[in-house]
């Protein structure tokens, strides 16, 4: 089985690496990392870089595509016809087309989410509406071969769910145990409904600053 992650300048590292750790532990799987250019890819987190093993031209089909979100660099990707047409082209033969966080907006821009149920990071859900998406507030949601998930950390949950579809629940549980994925966040503040107003304002302010630096603010 072949799994491709789409990397782009400013994508969020956790959206890529979380699902990689889960899906890469399935048997007989190959992970590819495809970007517009092979080599280093700057993430949206300071000096952190990922690495593209392939250019998108080199990946003409894949069993599964995973599209990460970004806090900074949608605009270039959402207007990039080459990238959007590459994603659309993979859809027909793929078993699943997935996204983490605001990556669902990229799937939507490629024309894959019209009329579908989908989700996104809480801050970016509003942009999905422009693409005729039925927005749901779930940790992850499957509609046909499209699987979308919420903010960054949800990629782990979605990938475990996907692994259970692909290789069965027992194998997915073994992967969960290998990653010792029994989360114990020290606070209960990972969800809009639970965060205080002050925390929400602070989070929005930081997200807006990041977006401002990159030009994405024109979208917000």
Closest distance between its own copies and the C-beta of residue 79, in Å? 25
Q: Give the interface segment with its own copies, choosing from 57-65, 80-88, 105-113, 150-158 (CB under 8 A).
A: 150-158
* Contact residues for 129 (Cβ-Cβ < 8 A; gap 6+): 135
Indicate the pairing of strand 30-35 with strand 2-6: parallel
| Residue among 161, 166, 211, 216 that touches its own copies (CB under 8 A) | 161
Task: Closer to its own copies by CB, 40 or 130: give it.
Answer: 40
Of 192 and 217, which has the nearer Cβ to its own copies? 192
Closer to its own copies at the Cβ: 79 or 173?
A: 173
Q: Is 115 in the site for its own copies (CB under 8 A)?
A: no
Give 148's strand partners: 99, 141
Among left, alpha and beta (phi > 0; psi -120 to 50; other), residue 143 is: beta
Q: In terms of CB distance, is 187 or 218 closer to its own copies?
A: 187
Helix (H, G, I), strand (E, B) or coil at 39: strand
CB of 119 to its own copies, least distance (A): 10
Tell me if 128 sits within 8 A of 105, measured CB to CB.
yes
Draw the binding track, 23-62, toward its own copies (x: CB under 8 A; -: no contact).
-xx---xxxxx------x----xxxxxxx-x---------
How far is the CA of 161 from the CAs of 41, 46, 120, 155, in angstroms? 27, 30, 17, 10
Q: What does the per-residue mask of binding to its own copies show for 91-110, with x meaning CB under 8 A?
A: ----------x---------
Distance CA 209, CA 201 (A): 12
Does residue 13 bind its own copies (CB under 8 A)? Answer: yes
Residue 197 in contact with its own copies, rule: CB under 8 A: no
Report the sign of the C-alpha dihedral through residues 164, 166, 171, 176, in that order. Answer: negative
**Options 152, 166, 211, 214; binder of its own copies; rule CB under 8 A:** 152
In whole angstroms, what is the distance from residue 11 CA to residue 191 CA? Answer: 22
Which of residues 82, 92, 115, 185 is near its own copies by CB under 8 A?
A: 185
The residue (of 129 and 202) whose beta carbon lies closer to its own copies is 202
């Amino acid at each position: 089985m072949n799994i491709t992650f789409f990397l782009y300048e400013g994508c969020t590292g956790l959206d890529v690496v979380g699902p990689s750790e889960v899906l890469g532990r399935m048997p007989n799987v190959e992970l590819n990392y495809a970007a517009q250019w092979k080599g280093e890819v700057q993430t949206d987190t300071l000096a952190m870089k990922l690495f593209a093993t392939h250019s998108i031209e080199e990946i003409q089909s894949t069993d599964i595509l995973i599209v990460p979100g970004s806090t900074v660099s949608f605009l270039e990707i959402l207007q990039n016809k080459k990238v959007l047409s590459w994603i659309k082209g993979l859809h027909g033969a793929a078993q699943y087309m997935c996204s983490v966080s605001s990556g669902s907006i990229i799937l939507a821009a490629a024309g894959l989410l019209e009329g579908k149920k989908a989700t996104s990071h809480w801050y970016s859900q509003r942009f999905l509406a422009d693409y005729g998406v039925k927005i749901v507030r779930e940790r992850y949601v499957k509609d046909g071969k499209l699987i979308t998930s919420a903010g960054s950390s949800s990629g782990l949950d979605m990938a475990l769910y996907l692994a259970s579809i692909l290789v069965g629940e027992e194998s997915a549980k073994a992967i969960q145990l290998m990653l010792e994925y029994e989360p114990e966040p020290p606070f209960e503040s990972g969800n809009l409904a639970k965060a205080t107003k002050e925390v929400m304002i602070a989070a929005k302010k930081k997200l807006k600053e990041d977006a401002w630096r990159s030009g994405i603010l024109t979208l917000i």
